[in-house]
């Protein structure tokens, strides 16, 4: 099985999710450091759709740059995430079984 993790190595939750993926038998992990190689708007929208979540639910609200998005719609939030990928909550993990936001990191086990 192949798993793609949209990863920030400075984030403890992202590192924990990566450790879970790396320890899972038979899982080939692809690491995308999304701050260096951000997903496209369409890719991000598809990831959220597969996860059954909205862009707002994927917004990293702890960031100062998220404050102006308080009342924004999902299209505006997606545009902001593409322009400033730090706004993407992490880690996002995708497999053939689905997509999960790894908060808590154990949630990635649902798609392994």
Per-residue model confidence (pLDDT) at position 110: 97
Range of the domain at 46: 2-111
Q: Output DSSP code: residue 88.
A: B
Largest Cα–Cα separation, the chain: 43
Distance CA 55, CA 44 (A): 8
Per-residue model confidence (pLDDT) at position 60: 97
Domain tally, the chain:
1
Which one of 1, 11, 53, 112 is the catalytic residue? 11
Instruction: Please write the tens of the pLDDT for every residue from 50-64.
Output: 999 999 999 999 999
89 is catalytic: no
Which CATH number do you get for residue 44? 3.40.30.10
When pLDDT is averaged across residues 83-109 and rounded to a whole number, the result is 97
């Amino acid at each position: 099985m192949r798993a793609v993790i949209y990863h920030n190595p400075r984030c403890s939750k992202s590192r924990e999710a990566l450790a879970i993926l790396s320890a899972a038998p038979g899982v080939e992990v692809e690491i995308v450091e999304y701050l260096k190689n951000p997903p496209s708007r369409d890719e991000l929208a598809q990831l959220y759709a597969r996860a059954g979540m909205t862009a707002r639910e994927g917004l990293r609200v702890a960031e100062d740059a998220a404050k102006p998005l308080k009342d924004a719609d999902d299209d505006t939030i997606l545009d902001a995430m593409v322009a400033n990928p730090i706004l993407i909550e992490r880690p996002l993990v995708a497999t053939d079984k689905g997509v999960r936001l790894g908060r808590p990191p154990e949630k990635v086990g649902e798609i392994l």
